Amino acid sequence: MATEKNKSAENHAVKSGVLGTNLEHAKEHNLRAVIDAVRRHGELTRAEITRATALSVQTISNLVAELEQRGLLIAGEPQKAKRGQPARPYRLNSQGGFSVGIQMDHQLALAVLVNLAGEECAKIQKTVARPSADEGIEIFAHLVDEVIEAGKVEKQRVFGVGVAIPGPFDVSGPTGVGPGWVGYPLEDNLSRRIGLPVIVENDANAAAIAERLHGAGKKFDNFVYVFIGMGLGAGLFLNGQIYHGVRGAAGEIGHILVETDGKSCECGNKGCFERYVSLRAAYHALGEEDNHHSSPEHLEKLFEEKDPAFMGWLQEAAEKLRIGILALESSFDPEVIFIGGLLPPKIARALVDLLNPLLPSVVTQLKPLEQRVLLGVSAPSAPAHGAASVPIFYEFNAELYSHSKKPVGRS
């Protein structure tokens, strides 16, 4: 039975994403372009996919049929339009594949298994004590096996493993995790150990990718994701792709100066952004040392009690974040800036609320934005969920297909 469609096909706006190509040898690119279009809109009919990808009607018919056969698309019930035959919408099959995400600091390692919709299927965590890189490989390998087993999925249905590490891994290593990580070939060594593709990203980039795939970021091609962790970083999406920079250190906004002759930073400067906006800055405001600090959950308790020292930090963090947002808008002219990371959701929301009114921006005055700042995902396990999004992002990224040539959805 056809169901009544809310909007007719003629007034249903489909935003163009990745365009396809009608060249025969580019079928795998086109399959990814179809998935990108469906993912961004939630569900689309074949006619809408045709408009979004600029491919021919026959090509779309063949591609959709193949994606259904591969278990990546699911057809919904036909929807009656005002004119013509009922059209069947297609959506991603959330059970069409899975991915593992791992996060680790000097005390805790955590792994999550997610499906194509980013929904958590299983989670495993383990206490660690500043592991070396070789020890970390074994910890990661056991976590991967355990979380896949806990999720009751076959290993061949897992696209890969993402690892979220604080900071620019290729430049300075994951600060504070343990000895021997700087320059360590984590991707190659872990991939050989577990028999799955492995991608390492810093936590800010991983969070930005998750926002792009599963959150409000799917509506934007150009945005900045400010990640508040023990330090401060940003993931940059430019023209629909994550931007790493020449040295892999793009988004190191924690070392932008926001205070003249301010608090001393380990980088050698004074007044760095992350000395005011980070979990570490919050702990320092409470008089706690790096190696003997409380937890994000304790910060939430202090927030609920309106602890004077904590509320003082929150107010100062908002003031400095206001300056940083203005700098980011002037530098990148993004569609929006997301604020997320490891802060408990209540604190993240309060911080975003304290930003108003934002400082006047010359960039946004050229074309006023509906919202300049949005709240992203903020939770202690955010890096792991972000990391799990990374293999999915690269698996279905049509623009990056030329580097892999691997059939979409196949290990």
pLDDT digits (tens, 9 = 90+) for 343-363: 999 999 999 999 999 999 888
CA nearest to 148, candidates 194, 198, 108? 194
Closest to 92 (Cα-Cα) out of 77, 112, 74, 106:
74
CATH of domain 98-205+385-402: 3.30.420.40
Q: Compare 398 and 226 and report the one with higher pLDDT.
A: 226
CB atoms within 10 A of CB 319: 15
The correct CATH number of 207-381 out of 3.30.470.10, 3.30.1110.20, 3.40.50.1860, 3.30.420.40 is 3.30.420.40
pLDDT at 292: 67
Provide the pLDDT confidence category of residue 58 given band limits of 50, 70 and 90.
very high
Average pLDDT over residues 164-178: 57
Show the tokens assigned to 161: 């493993």
Q: How confident is the model at residue 2 (pLDDT cuts 50, 70, 90)?
A: very low
Residue-level pLDDT at 72: 93
Looking at residue 8, what is its pLDDT? 37
* Residues contacting 341, CB < 8 A, separation 6+: 203, 207, 226, 227, 228, 229, 348, 376, 378, 382
**What length is written for the chain?**
411
pLDDT score for 80: 76
Is the pLDDT at 69 greater than 60? The verdict is: yes
DSSP letter for 127, please.
E
**What average pLDDT does this structure show over 374-388?**
91
Residue 144 tokens read as 């991967």
User: Residues 80-88: what's their mean pLDDT?
Assistant: 76
Distance CA 57, CA 49 (A): 9
Question: What residue segments make up the domains of the chain, in order of their start?
Answer: 3-92, 98-205+385-402, 207-381
Percent of residues, the chain, with pLDDT higher than 70: 86
CATH of segment(s) 3-92: 1.10.10.10
* One fold for 3-92 and 98-205+385-402: no
Contacts of 194 (CB under 8 A, 6+ apart): 140, 141, 144, 145, 161
The model's pTM = 0.84
